[in-house]
Chains A and B, each alone.
Chain A
């Protein structure tokens, strides 16, 4: 009897990603899906993102909310990862006085660190609280020595960003970019690969043979704050927004 099992969803999505990268950038439509039935609230995504993007204290791209409801013994616990929704309608972009943040053709909302003046207007404009400011802090700054993991460059937007006073991204607004630097090198976003519940899906939503397309179309998916009609590109299965 065959014991063949399906490939891990990471392999499937990796292949989807490679296929998408063969298309011109304007034809790629990146999206994320989080199946909350599979999210176990481990916070690996939060930490992996911090490590990948060398995020300082106070800066977080992806958080996981934990909500308890019910009465003993009928208790429920919900875990909801939240991040930049990469909305098609972008109050953050509209709020930027220097056009340092924009909606890319592939759907990602990016920040040009070299132009951002750190005015925080986008922070206030985002209804999801997805943006934070980089105040130039270090986790190990008050210890005997600042450690190399905080001094090595981040590779965001495919450039090397050293954390040095006066250099970007210190002083800038920061947020999730779907790990653009990884995607364009053929790697899935960090939060996707490290998801131990295999709850996070990523890919080109317009590629009908992709896993993300398949899952979105075979499930009842929701977005956060649908009423705002911002057309987020982060979808959820099993979202109970009334609990948030």
Chain B
């Protein structure tokens, strides 16, 4: 007890400490203030550390290895999310190294229970970007105050205004830019927040769902009329009462984000959806690897009872994907994936690969048009023609089926019981019978089709004990010429079926799913598939042989090179189907999924269910701006093609957000808020977004939250400064190749570098959270402020939210806390406080922290935060030859859901099985730019030393490679008369002048240096991302009338996205994959013109 009191005392002392470091940070808008000369160094230096006479005496223990100088958190220099330790010197992040508790940095990582003091001398591996993180945080071009533009959008003229003024203006609206001659009234949040009644929103949402679900046109119309009568008092809250399915005016607020992780995204969703009532909160998945995620989603649909709809349907799908269990595979095919450079690979995968390579436990091959650093260590490099990835997989599938090298024991299992019998964690629908309708595979054959009546079932609600009756219509397989009906989830009656079925049942033409796959794969000979891919047939055969020679310990691991094509979805589907043929899912060395500790508290017994802790939740409804839904269901349906694509499968369709706003389809948007988003830079043909952003008629109010004036935030009306990744909270989550169950937690490690403001009476730094809290405060939104969670439970500070999440993670997912972490002991409690002695009260107030997570969980929370999250021990991720954290369900080799879904541009249904589709525009027409002389296929890649715009301030990294180049094969170089270092202009059919127009008077020619190499397929040229920035501190700004000179080092090199092909039909958007939503990064044909 005495010791505890001492700790309390100690903690109080910390809070009372005056922090001189803050002085160092007070400055004008930029972290840097105005330009200084070297001679001024002395003054600055004195602020960092008062020079003491003993500064050269030998130190006892290396200060950066003392527990009280180390905080554990998570990197965000890319999205891999490696665990890091931030080493502090006088409150400054002096050095970053790998956190040994994290499975990302070591194999195996140290046990979670290792006392903190024992970990201090163990620094683990992180990549060069991670090492350079302090340069992102301490960036002289970081903004610390709110900026409001004083010239046209994009003009880079700003003034600083107070946080309170900014919040007041964006909430209340008005003639906000009258001072610069813009005589337009801008609606603020209060105007867009039209529908405020949660109950009405729920009722309207229900009525709109009925309208959407009604297939009959006339009935649909009359439902709309009924809606208008029923809600006549609320019609003014709708965007268009004649189209209630557009939803309320609230939807005219759109929040878009670039990189955002859990915690923050939950915060945003709570604000935008639950409290403000807009459906429009969208991420950026499709610019990364959308079609990979959405192929995973399609393959993971289960035929199950849906509580919401009270019926059986395809449900419980996950937006996710698989990667291989890197440490235990014997043979890996990396396709369009380079774990040594990107691919969420380094550092968590590289060490596993190199170790096994040297010990001869692993062989791997790389399929990639570019000879990547991964290819440099591979057994074989296969330089495939971009966009033909599915063809290669289908060639392999053909060989494997023809030679009967597939795992038939696995594939014949039709349901859970059969899988269980074979000790298989998953099963697939290879044997299920599919009806052939109009010559095309469609729905699955059902019991009711062959005279087996639907089963009457009862669902009993656990909580309400209410009983609901529903029908179950069985699926059918054929076994030895007999039909067998079954339930896929039946655990007791194993059903197996024949793999090859092509027959008639009850007069209905049927085929097994596997037969349909075989027909796809056998459409071409292996030689023909090889020809399509531009590879040798022997390569396909050799890989197919090797792939089927390691039991379950082989895997095809795929990433962006497969998914970021117009045919990306089916490329992915083909490769994931290939993995199905050896049934390697959930097996050690096979394909595995990620697993995270639930931070939202949705599992039984967890302390805080944050989805439910909302006093008056809105039900947002209506079509969203990216049209994640079915075109034909909507009241906007006017035949094919749609004005712009609809995405029934994909969500977070990044490239659709701003162009859709530009086209006001499905409706105009009034407020756009961008967070850590650089669509103008990161999207292919992202320059088309600039045209919309600069147009105040198309978007009346643009707000950004950013740490610098970025390539997209420069087009905002207001920029709110944000906290960097070392100053804030997030729950980073995991990646599939991490087999352990984890939850890495990002937390404040240094004092905020931005201005401190007051919201809900609380001091906090300006950041995304404080902006949203302040808007909520001004509007009086439910779900924030006093009693924001529930009566007596306030939501006034970011920590009120995040520490509850930490408590959930610490508690674990088993009832009665059987799974909870230990309490931090006194020693660790002391370290916890001591290591935060430099943090001001505005971010670290121990009393408030403890209150936010609940005293009973406080010591567990400390235990977790001391380690930078929660991480399962290495060995606990496996049981015998299988992964412990299993997917464990049906995997769709054939997707009925997909086969029933219509393409919004052609009106045709999608293929339910993996297939090869050539590169096309959104109407399905081939793109024939070669005919106009654009004959080089442009692709992108990533240097490990760069991310995208966020690494621009990293001078150490720039010293490795000050500018990027355009890789070209020596044969092509010779043909074009190019040499190493030759300067070329890059042009395409949709950007024949090779120009990026910033719409502020500045035009940038897409000009770069070539690097002649043998390491790229002839006919293909490549550039690495992260270079050619036109903002983010690379060019000049004016703030408060003062010129801030940009630093040209940050903008060197070439960024070719602006020449990437726009879709000929859409015009203001890049080429897209209509199924998985992916943007095309690798299908543009360009011309290189030498510049003398």
Contacts and interface: CB of A to CB of B under 8 A. Distances in A.
Nearest to B55: A160
Given A152-B89, A187-B123, A145 B1015 contact: no
Secondary structure of the A contact surface, majority rule? loop
B41 A149 contact: no
B177 interface: no
Given A44-B126, A193-B124, A193-B125, A148 B354 contact: no
A58 to B, nearest CB: 9
B655 interface: no
B52 to A, nearest CB: 9
Nearest to A198: B351
Given A40-B350, A52-B95, A194 B126 contact: yes
A21 to B, nearest CB: 11
Interface residues of B, number: 102
A43 B945 contact: yes
Given A51-B96, A77-B373, A185-B62, A43 B128 contact: yes
Interface string B82-100: 0000000110111111101
B381 interface: yes
B21 to A, nearest CB: 9
Contacts of B132: 47, 51
Contact of B1014 (A68, A148, A151): A68
B373 A41 contact: yes
Interface string A133-173: 00000111111111111011101001110101100000000
A60 B128 CA distance: 14
A81 interface: no
Contacts of A153: 49, 55, 89
Contacts of A184: 62
A10 B126 CA distance: 13
Interface in B331-386: 340, 346-347, 350-351, 354-355, 357-358, 371, 373-377, 381, 383
A14 B121 contact: yes
A203 to B, nearest CB: 15
Contacts of B48: 148, 151-152
A9 B57 CA distance: 34
A186 interface: yes
A141 B44 CA distance: 12
Given A10-B124, A37-B358, A149 B138 contact: yes
Interface in A71-91: 71-73, 75-79
B964 to A, nearest CB: 14
Q: Report which residue of B63, B110, B123, B340 has the largest number of chain A beta carbons within 10 angstroms of its beta carbon.
A: B123
Contacts of A75: 371, 381, 1014-1015
A95 interface: no
Interface in A169-203: 181-182, 184-188, 190, 193-199
B960 A43 contact: yes
A27 interface: no
B1 interface: no
Contacts of B139: 147
A22 interface: no
A19 interface: no
A29 interface: no
B1014 A139 contact: no
A6 B669 CA distance: 57
B33 A145 contact: yes
Given A143-B1047, A144-B30, A148-B92, A155 B1014 contact: no
A148 B45 CA distance: 8
A48 B374 CA distance: 22
Contacts of B27: 145
B875 A3 contact: yes
A47 B955 CA distance: 10
Contacts of B955: 57, 139-140
B34 interface: yes
B58 interface: yes
Contacts of A193: 97-98, 122-125
B805 to A, nearest CB: 30
Given A11-B122, A147-B139, A73 B45 contact: no
Contact of B121 (A1, A151, A187, A196): A187
A194 B347 CA distance: 9
B1018 interface: yes
Q: Report which residue of A5, A70, A145, A193 has the largest number of chain B beta carbons within 10 angstroms of its beta carbon.
A: A145
Contacts of A194: 97-98, 123, 125-126, 131
Interface string B19-61: 0000010010011111110100110110011010001111101
Contacts of B106: 8, 10-11
Given A37-B358, A152-B48, A51 B89 contact: no
A43 to B, nearest CB: 5
Contact of B123 (A35, A57, A147, A188): A188
B15 interface: no
Contacts of A5: 107-108, 327, 874-875
Contacts of A199: 354
Contact of A40 (B130, B377, B880): B377
A44 B128 contact: yes
Contacts of A72: 383, 969-971, 1014-1018
Given A44-B126, A149-B94, A194-B97, A57 B959 contact: yes
A144 B95 contact: no
B65 interface: yes
B33 to A, nearest CB: 6
A47 B31 contact: no
Contact of B34 (A46, A144, A165, A196): A144
Contacts of B1015: 68, 72, 75, 77
A10 B106 CA distance: 8
A42 interface: yes
Given A162-B45, A196-B346, A142 B1047 contact: yes
A110 to B, nearest CB: 14
Q: Report which residue of A9, A78, A187 has the largest number of chain B beta carbons within 10 angstroms of its beta carbon.
A: A187
A190 B64 CA distance: 12
A226 interface: no
Interface string A111-148: 00000000000000000000000000011111111111
A8 to B, nearest CB: 4
B641 interface: no
B140 interface: yes
Contacts of B198: none
Contacts of A141: 38
Interface in B943-979: 944-945, 955-957, 959-960, 969-971
B138 A148 contact: yes
Given A151-B48, A194-B97, A8 B875 contact: no
A38 interface: yes
B141 interface: yes
A159 to B, nearest CB: 5
Given A153-B49, A193-B97, A159 B138 contact: no
A155 B64 contact: yes
A198 B108 CA distance: 13
B354 A40 contact: yes
Contacts of B135: 139, 147, 149
The 6 A-B pairs of least Cβ separation, nearest first, read A144-B32, A145-B32, A185-B62, A38-B354, A143-B140, A196-B347
Given A60-B959, A75-B371, A143-B141, 13 more contacts: A3-B880, A4-B875, A14-B122, A40-B340, A42-B340, A47-B956, A47-B960, A72-B1016, A143-B35, A145-B140, A155-B64, A164-B41, A197-B350
14 contacts: A1-B880, A3-B878, A8-B107, A9-B355, A40-B346, A48-B128, A51-B95, A51-B96, A51-B132, A73-B1014, A143-B32, A144-B30, A194-B126, A196-B125
Interface of A: 1, 3-5, 7-11, 14, 35, 37-38, 40-44, 46-48, 50-52, 57, 60, 68, 70-73, 75-79, 138-149, 151-153, 155, 158-160, 162, 164-165, 181-182, 184-188, 190, 193-199
